[in-house]
Chain A
């Protein structure tokens, strides 16, 4: 090795020193290559995802469109139905107006007839009641008046003690009321 020029030796030495670097470089390159591969893979995957997303988006859009179309169609159907119903209602209304008018007239006739019948009925009931009462009361009018008076008079007496506590004005009013009640009975009993 003594014959190897120094420069070459140096080169060889340098080479020797570089080898680990080269190895490291190689290893780094490999790692970079791996990374590049991974990035490529990721890019591919991302593209795939992008495509998927686009596809989904398109699906959504198309589905939304379809739904909107369905809704619009349904709306139209419903509006058609409503319009139809309104038309029919209007038709019915106009046809019913006459019926209602007829019914009203009939109702009025019934009302009048009911009132007349009710009056006749009530007259009959009243007359029957008064006949029954008359029969029951016949000859006992005086006793009944006496009974009513006694009951009324008891109330007057029970009120009488309270008169002492009244102010003159109230006293006078209450006494007038008592006097009026007595006068009413007096008239009835005297007649």
Chain B
């Protein structure tokens, strides 16, 4: 039986420290990071879903949010199918402002067709008494027209469901585009295989203008209490924006860990390239030119990312020598 491949390019954007990497780590089954290590450039993760006739590959581009690592580079915004715009439920003002001012504008410019979600992370830290202030703060920014979902990477609340929703929405869009008859019914099949219902996914979305603060907390609290997550000492270190890697010593971050992290992401992205070429080999002739163009775009992005990673390691080395 011929199995068709579906690739979804999803990017996760948001200010530094909002938990982009944590969310991806949680989704792909890695441990919640014990300490904050900034993502430099991009780190690509993959989540695969196998249906009877289809193989769905969710390519998740986790983009480092530190401004000094150039997260606003247009390469990170092009050819996207979906985007998660992350904000911190404990710091909604600043992180939502960043989304409104920069990420949304760039997405509208470089990937106007992509499906956008507004994701509030760290729901485990929302206290019942703060719910109203939180909702008011979010309303103030009037970022409308996008589904808003609250998640917690730490407690894993709504993480799997969120990505299920992302894939489901994409598949529905694919069905509605009507270009390929072979995809008819695929979204339903996907939901069945994910053991989720449309109602459950709808339930994730928070209607920010109508929801009652008490309902909100009820909506997110019960799930959190189910998880038993141990807090480590490192987690209480306040996050700071790194404006210059040379001054990394000023931050309470293990430099070697950053280097390890960068190299690990480098390796990871190399594997992605290898897979990308393998997929290109399997391309049907009629889609070859388009696939080469898309691949070339991704390869160019990754090349810039490799350079950024290497430069960052060299910067860290320099800071070593200077100290």
A149 to chain B, nearest CB (A): 7
Which residue of A147, A154, A156, A178 contacts B310 across the interface (Cβ within 8 Å)? A147
With a cutoff of 8 Å between Cβ atoms, the chain B residues found around residue A140 in the complex are 317
- Contact call A161/B296, Cβ cutoff below 8 A: yes
Q: Do A143 and B317 form a contact, CB below 8 Å, given A157-B296, A164-B292, A179-B277?
A: yes
Give Cα distance in the complex from A190 to B296, angstroms: 24
With a cutoff of 8 Å between Cβ atoms, the chain A residues found around residue B266 in the complex are 142, 146, 189
Which residues of B in the span 252-305 have a Cβ within 8 Å of any Cβ on A? 259, 263, 266-267, 270-271, 273-274, 277-278, 280-281, 285, 288-289, 292, 295-296, 299-300, 302-303
B212 at the interface (CB under 8 A from A): no
- Contact call A150/B303, Cβ cutoff below 8 A: yes
Chain B interface SS verdict (over half) = helix
Task: Produce 1/0 per residue, A140-168, CB < 8 A to B.
Answer: 10110011011001101100110110001
Q: Do A150 and B307 form a contact, CB below 8 Å, given A143-B313, A143-B314, A189-B270?
A: yes
- Contact call A164/B289, Cβ cutoff below 8 A: yes
B122 at the interface (CB under 8 A from A): no
- Contact call B313/A142, Cβ cutoff below 8 A: yes
With a cutoff of 8 Å between Cβ atoms, the chain A residues found around residue B317 in the complex are 140, 143
With a cutoff of 8 Å between Cβ atoms, the chain A residues found around residue B292 in the complex are 160, 163-164
B120 to chain A, nearest CB (A): 36
Which residues of A in the span 165-182 have a Cβ within 8 Å of any Cβ on B? 168, 171-172, 175-176, 178-179, 182
Most chain B Cβ neighbours within 10 Å, of A146, A161, A179 = A146
Give Cα distance in the complex from A59 to B149, angstroms: 138
Which residue of A154, A160, A172, A179 contacts B274 across the interface (Cβ within 8 Å)? A179
Which residues of A in the span 104-138 have a Cβ within 8 Å of any Cβ on B? none
- Contact call B313/A186, Cβ cutoff below 8 A: no
Give Cα distance in the complex from A156 to B266, angstroms: 17
Which residues of B in the span 240-259 have a Cβ within 8 Å of any Cβ on A? 259
Which of chain B's residues has its CB closest to A185's CB?
B270
A65 at the interface (CB under 8 A from B): no
A183 at the interface (CB under 8 A from B): yes
How many A residues touch B, CB cutoff 8 Å? Answer: 28
Q: Do A186 and B307 form a contact, CB below 8 Å, given A157-B299, A160-B295?
A: no
B266 to chain A, nearest CB (A): 6
B309 at the interface (CB under 8 A from A): yes
Give Cα distance in the complex from A143 to B296, angstroms: 24
Which of chain A's residues has its CB closest to B260's CB?
A142
With a cutoff of 8 Å between Cβ atoms, the chain A residues found around residue B296 in the complex are 157, 160-161
With a cutoff of 8 Å between Cβ atoms, the chain A residues found around residue B313 in the complex are 142-143, 146
Which of chain A's residues has its CB closest to B309's CB?
A146
Give Cα distance in the complex from A190 to B268, angstroms: 9
User: Besides A168-B285, A186-B270, 5 other CB < 8 A contacts?
Assistant: A150-B307, A160-B292, A160-B295, A182-B277, A183-B274
Can you report 29 A-B residue pairs in the complex whose CB atoms are below 8 A from each other? A142-B259, A142-B266, A142-B313, A143-B310, A143-B313, A143-B317, A146-B306, A146-B313, A150-B306, A150-B307, A153-B273, A153-B303, A153-B306, A154-B303, A156-B299, A157-B299, A157-B300, A157-B303, A161-B296, A171-B288, A175-B277, A175-B281, A179-B277, A179-B281, A182-B273, A182-B277, A186-B274, A189-B266, A190-B267
The 7 closest A-B pairs by CB, nearest first: A146-B310, A182-B274, A179-B277, A160-B296, A142-B263, A150-B306, A157-B299
